[in-house]
Amino acid sequence: MQSTIEQSLADYLSGYTRNNPAGRDHLISYSDWQRMAQLELDRRASSLLSTLPDAELQAIAEGQVSLADIVRGLPA
């Protein structure tokens, strides 16, 4: 039985390979999807940081503040 995430991916990939049959072989043969997914997560995190002013970036980079701690303190 597939998990919800696996089913969601299967649905997406079914449409992707239907519209891009040549891409199916690449999806199967490419061996580094885990690393690429991590790179994409890093890119998305970087995108958030790109909107911050230099002073805030410097404080984060030097460990003076923690984004996670700040968010934990926000109302849910």
**Helix or strand (DSSP H, E) at 23:** helix 21-29
Same-domain status, 17 and 36:
no
Same-domain status, 25 and 53:
no
Residue 66 binned pLDDT confidence (cut-offs 50, 70, 90): very high
Same-domain status, 43 and 76:
yes
- Other CB atoms within 10 Å distance of the CB of residue 60: 15
Same-domain status, 53 and 24:
no
Q: What's the burial of 16, exposed, middle or buried (CB within 10 Å: 0-12/13-18/19+)? A: middle
Same-domain status, 18 and 43:
no
Range of the domain at 76: 32-76
Same-domain status, 5 and 36:
no
Distance between CA 13 and CA 9 in Å, rounded?
6
pLDDT tens column, 22-63:
999 999 999 999 999 999 999 999 999 999 999 999 999 999
| Contact predicate 23/17, CB 8 Å | yes
